[in-house]
Amino acid sequence: MKKSIVLYKSKYGSAKKYAEWISEELNCKVLDMDKVDISSLHVFDNIICGQGIYAGNFSVGKDLANIIETYPQKNYIFYSVSLSDPNSEVDRDSILKSVESAIGSANLDKVKVFFFRGDYYFSKMTLVHKAMMWMMKNMLKRKPEEEKTDDDRALIENYNGSFEFADKSYIVDLINYVKGIGLV
Ligand SMILES: Cc1cc2nc3c(=O)[nH]c(=O)nc-3n(C[C@H](O)[C@H](O)[C@H](O)COP(=O)(O)O)c2cc1C
């Protein structure tokens, strides 16, 4: 039987929530990326790793690139968690570009990527993040009206409120992928 582990980096809980849902479905271990000892990963066949997107970036990419370089033969699955709708083609492309720049284009072919949508709670944010969101809201406001997406408008109106988009149904494709190609 193949062994999986889910690693996550989560500032406000969404990527962690998805990691726990995936680990329940696959009956596998789940661990905060910051607590991972890379040498202990040799026992796993499948490494599933996820993080929320921050200003278009994933800081977890460097850690994941190190793991891929240490164990190039394992199966890698990455899930992104974003506020923007991951079903939109434009958002997927920009998320994929961010994943590529985080893990390096040479590693992109080795990683299957899934896109999830997360929660957003302004009241829980650090002051720096609150300031970043205020700036993002003002930047979006300056976009020409015809270029604004529905997500842009929702954030302009409610940047200092909350959105609850995390939903277990997003993981179905990932679980089917892992089960379907005999990774369990
Ligand atoms: C400072 C900041 C920047 C963000 N930047 C983006 C972004 O560029 N694109 C996006 O879709 N979501 C963005 N988000 C939303 C987060 O990706 C979303 O809230 C996610 O659920 C966070 O996951 P986590 O709680 O596991 O860290 C941002 C959130 C914050 C606080």
126 and 77 share one domain: no
Domain count, the chain: 2
Strands 162-164 and 119-121, how do they pair?
Answer: antiparallel
What CATH number corresponds to the domain at position 32? 3.40.50.360
- In order of 38, 55, 106, 116, 184, the CA distances from 45 in angstroms are 13, 32, 20, 23, 9
CB 171 within 8 A of CB 25: yes
85 and 152 share one domain: no
- In order of 29, 56, 75, 90, 121, the CA distances from 112 in angstroms are 19, 19, 9, 19, 29
Task: List the chain residues with pLDDT less than 70.
Answer: 182-184
Q: Which residues, 6+ apart, have CB-to-CB distance to 79 below 8 Å?
A: 15, 18, 22, 48, 49, 50, 113, 114, 115, 116, 171, 174
What pLDDT is attached to residue 173?
Answer: 96
Ligand 1 close to Cβ of residue 154 (< 6 A):
no
Q: How many C-alpha atoms does 65 have within 13 Å on its Cβ side?
A: 15
Ligand 1 close to Cβ of residue 52 (< 6 A):
yes
30 and 106 share one domain: yes
What pLDDT is attached to residue 123?
Answer: 98
104 and 128 share one domain: no
98 and 25 share one domain: yes
Span from the CA of 2 to the centroid of ligand 1 (angstroms): 32
* Residue of 83, 101, 120, 124 to mutate, ligand 1, most atoms within 8 A of C-beta: 83
- Structural domain of residue 125, as residue ranges? 120-164
Ligand 1 close to Cβ of residue 54 (< 6 A):
yes
Ligand 1 close to Cβ of residue 132 (< 6 A):
yes
Q: What is the pLDDT of residues 64-108, one digit of tens each?
A: 999 999 999 999 999 999 998 888 877 788 888 988 888 888 888
What pLDDT is attached to residue 183?
Answer: 63
